[in-house]
């Protein structure tokens, strides 16, 4: 009887509900959103543009998001993307020491064009504030001689400054 007819004709009329759903537009939208997120996610990682020095040191294992102190090419200071005037650095570091746990790691990102003395002055301020667990952030070596645990794609990674760590 009505076995060979399409579903809209079986129930007798034009107003019968259609039981088919076209998922092609949904898949198209989802693929576009996936591509947008894949492109923008790496851009959200760092906020302060810093040209990091290269190192062949092995990367640290990270359990949680660390606090990051950045020094850009002009020498401006940032704590987690928030600008800090140099005259307020001591008190901001003391407040930071009270906020974080003693086992938390602090990453120091300094532009490669900065003088060595400038970076050492900031490390001295960190030490004076009681922040002794400092890791210097570098990029992977580009000569291809990096170890198997290194990231040779230039992605920033922390390496340990053993002189500023407590035993």
pLDDT one-digit tens code per residue, 96-142? 888 888 778 888 888 888 888 888 998 898 888 888 888 888 777 66
Query: Residue 71: beta bridge partners?
Result: 77, 110
Domain limits of the chain?
Answer: 7-44, 54-164
Say which CATH topology domain 54-164 has: Nucleotidyltransferase; domain 5 (3.30.420)
pTM above 0.85, yes or no: no
pLDDT at 142: 62
Sequence length of the chain is 167
Residue 158: closest CA among 62, 50, 74: 62
The angle subtended at Cα 80 by Cα 123 and Cα 133, nearest 5°, is 40
Neighbouring-strand partners of residue 110: 71
Structure confidence at residue 3 (pLDDT): 58
List of residues 6+ apart from 159 with CB closer than 8 A: 55, 57, 58, 59, 60, 135, 136, 137, 138
Low-confidence ranges of the chain (pLDDT < 70): 1-14, 45-48, 59-63, 141-167
């Amino acid at each position: 009887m009505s076995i060979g007819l399409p579903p809209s004709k079986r129930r007798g009329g034009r107003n019968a509900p259609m039981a088919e759903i076209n998922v092609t537009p949904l898949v198209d939208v989802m693929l576009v959103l996936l591509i947008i997120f894949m492109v923008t996610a790496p851009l959200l990682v760092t906020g302060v543009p810093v040209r990091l020095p290269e190192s062949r040191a092995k990367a640290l294992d990270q359990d949680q998001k660390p606090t990051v102190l950045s020094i850009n090419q002009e020498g401006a200071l940032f704590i987690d993307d928030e600008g800090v005037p140099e005259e307020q650095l001591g008190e901001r570091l003391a407040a930071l020491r009270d906020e974080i746990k003693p086992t938390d790691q602090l990453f120091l990102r300094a532009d490669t064009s900065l003088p060595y003395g400038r970076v050492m002055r900031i490390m001295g301020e960190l030490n004076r504030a009681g922040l002794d667990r400092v890791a210097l952030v570098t990029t992977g070596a580009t000569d291809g001689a990096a170890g198997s645990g290194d990231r040779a794609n230039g992605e920033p990674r922390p390496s340990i400054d053993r002189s500023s760590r407590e035993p």
